[in-house]
A and B are shown apart, each in its own frame.
Chain A
Amino acid sequence: MLIFVANLADRAALAFAQAWPERDIHLLTPADLSTRGWRLTVPDDDGAMAVATGRVLRTRNFEGVFVRLGCVHEDELKTITPNDRGYVAAEMQAFLFAFLSRLKCPVINRPSPGCLCGPNLRPIHWRHLAERSGIRVSIRPSLERVSSVCVVGDQTFGNGGAILHDRARKLARAGKTDLLRVWFDADDTEASMVSADLWPDCSNTEVQAAILGLFDGQVKC
């Protein structure tokens, strides 16, 4: 059983889940956090429960979790009284962070404090990290993003030559993240890194297969 954590408007995540029916993928959205069935204990008693698409699930059956949700937005909590949405969103965010951090199965990307889907780095922080990793960085980050490379574990996808793919992989390693999209200002060897984010294009079938491959052969929760 695989879990995709995404917001309701993330059509790419929904399409991805639907494209692989044989993988038993369950979509978990913030609306599921307003559903009876969640359970987490400290100390851990190995009885954690989650809710995905309204179904109550034992986390010990999870084989992997793909996180596309950076944070819980109050705008998405339509069933919550408007005045309480800010507080409830903060509570859900704090809970999901603890919940996802606890899972023993592969979680792609592992949450960090402040970001549910990977390192909580601003664009400038990615640029600083790139420079410290020996990757040429554009002096004008507002330049149009010409090409991008998606990193999925050890695999890379996108335009640009092998050198750009190597640089993207290097940055993902420096950021300790499995999934990363790195933007460059050109697609040749002279290209400089412009920015990076945690949302690779998961509408691409090859990228989807690579993401699912990260869960294969791994231990369950």
Chain B
Amino acid sequence: MLTLLWGLPDEEPLAAVACALAEIGGSYFVLDQRRVLETEVTVEAADGLHGTLRTSDRQITLDSVRSYYVRPYDTRRVPDVMRAGIGSSPWQHALAVEDALLAWLEMTSARVVNRPSTMLPNGSKPYQLEDIQRFGFRVPETLVTTNPEEAEYFWRMRCEVIYKSISGVRSRVARMTHEHKERLADICNCPTQFQAYVPGTDFRVHVIGDDLFACEIQSGADDYRYAASQSRPPTIFATILPLEVRDRCVRMTSTMNLLVAGIDLRRTPEGEWYCFEVNPSPAFTYYESQTGQPIAAAIARLLVT
């Protein structure tokens, strides 16, 4: 039976999973998002659920696909679609293909890593933080406001504060400095998220079904993900989490109906465990390349069982 991979074939996580599937003899097909204008998808929900996918060289009955690994980017940014322009026929075709596939992925009984609806809560950081608390993790004190005085008070009471986007867009973390003080008035225009800075050591945990891969990150940057581009590359190595923390990660992932997740944790000098985010579409290859942890292989196994 077939596994369908949807996204950009040369994007590292997708390519790594395809490679891992090939290594274990799993049958797979990569649906190249760049070729969306040559792709047609039909989904019918009368007299049962049926779907068909056609590309220029292949036709696949979606009903017979065993599993899906999906990492689609914004279809509107596919070069051919952008060139055609907003509202053009190719533009509308591309959106229709995306819409039909997303609908199918939501409804199919096949294994989907991860189902679109389970990924969406990550698009609201304060919502996900509320959810995370239920699993026994500490979360950073967070204020979202359009009130500059409120933000300034929050900052004053906590000494060190970071700000980050509320949605998944431009999700970069930065520490508040006195230069920001002059710009605080701008937050009247849009709710802005501030968090108490939590000192400690970062951990990235990948949960793949029942498997768990943890790594520790040593970095002096506010957001270690961007430290490499600031010529301060972090040091990353595989580690083992305390059993209780490990169980929380697995339970949280499962309760959020995710089959794969990348969890951002921080252990404070006092030994408290904070959780910042559960990423439903983790770019795991960065960590895999640093630690040698067989994450892609674990995802491939999940997709064929």
Residues of A within 8 A of B (CB): 33-44, 51, 79-80, 86-88, 90-95, 97-98, 101-102, 112-114, 120, 122, 124-125, 127-128, 131, 137-139, 141
Contacts and interface: CB of A to CB of B under 8 A. Distances in A.
Contact of A90 (B117, B127, B150, B167): B167
A74 to B, nearest CB: 12
A39 to B, nearest CB: 5
11 contacts: A36-B146, A38-B144, A40-B126, A90-B169, A94-B127, A94-B165, A98-B126, A98-B130, A101-B130, A131-B48, A137-B45
Contact of B126 (A34, A36, A42, A88): A42
B190 interface: yes
A91 B167 contact: yes
Given A97-B124, A98-B126, A38 B189 contact: no
Given A86-B169, A98-B144, A122-B106, 12 more contacts: A34-B146, A40-B126, A41-B141, A94-B168, A97-B123, A98-B127, A101-B130, A113-B123, A114-B123, A124-B45, A125-B106, A131-B48
Given A33-B191, A94-B123, A139 B169 contact: no
Contact of A122 (B99, B125, B150): B99
A42 B144 CA distance: 9
B219 to A, nearest CB: 25
B141 A122 contact: no
Interface string B60-95: 000000000000000000000000000000000000
A84 to B, nearest CB: 8
A67 B276 CA distance: 29
Contacts of A141: 46
Contact of B146 (A38, A42, A97, A131): A38
Q: Interface majority SS on B: helix, strand, loop or mixed?
A: mixed
Contacts of B49: 128
A99 to B, nearest CB: 8
Q: Which of A33, A51, A91, A128 has the most CB of B within 10 A?
A: A91
Interface residues of B, number: 45
B147 A37 contact: yes
A141 B47 CA distance: 13
Contacts of A44: 130
| Closest A-B pairs by Cβ, 3 of them | A113-B120, A94-B167, A128-B45
B101 to A, nearest CB: 11
Contacts of B227: none
B22 interface: no
Interface in B99-135: 99-100, 102-103, 106-107, 117, 120-121, 123-127, 129-130, 133
A39 B127 contact: no
Nearest to A131: B45
Given A38-B147, A113-B124, A124 B103 contact: yes
Contacts of A43: 133, 139, 141
B145 interface: yes
Nearest to A115: B120
Given A38-B144, A122-B103, A128-B107, A92 B190 contact: yes
B43 interface: yes
A125 B190 CA distance: 33
A42 B150 CA distance: 14
B142 interface: yes
Q: Which of B47, B167, B188, B190 has the most CB of A within 10 A?
A: B190
A138 B44 CA distance: 11
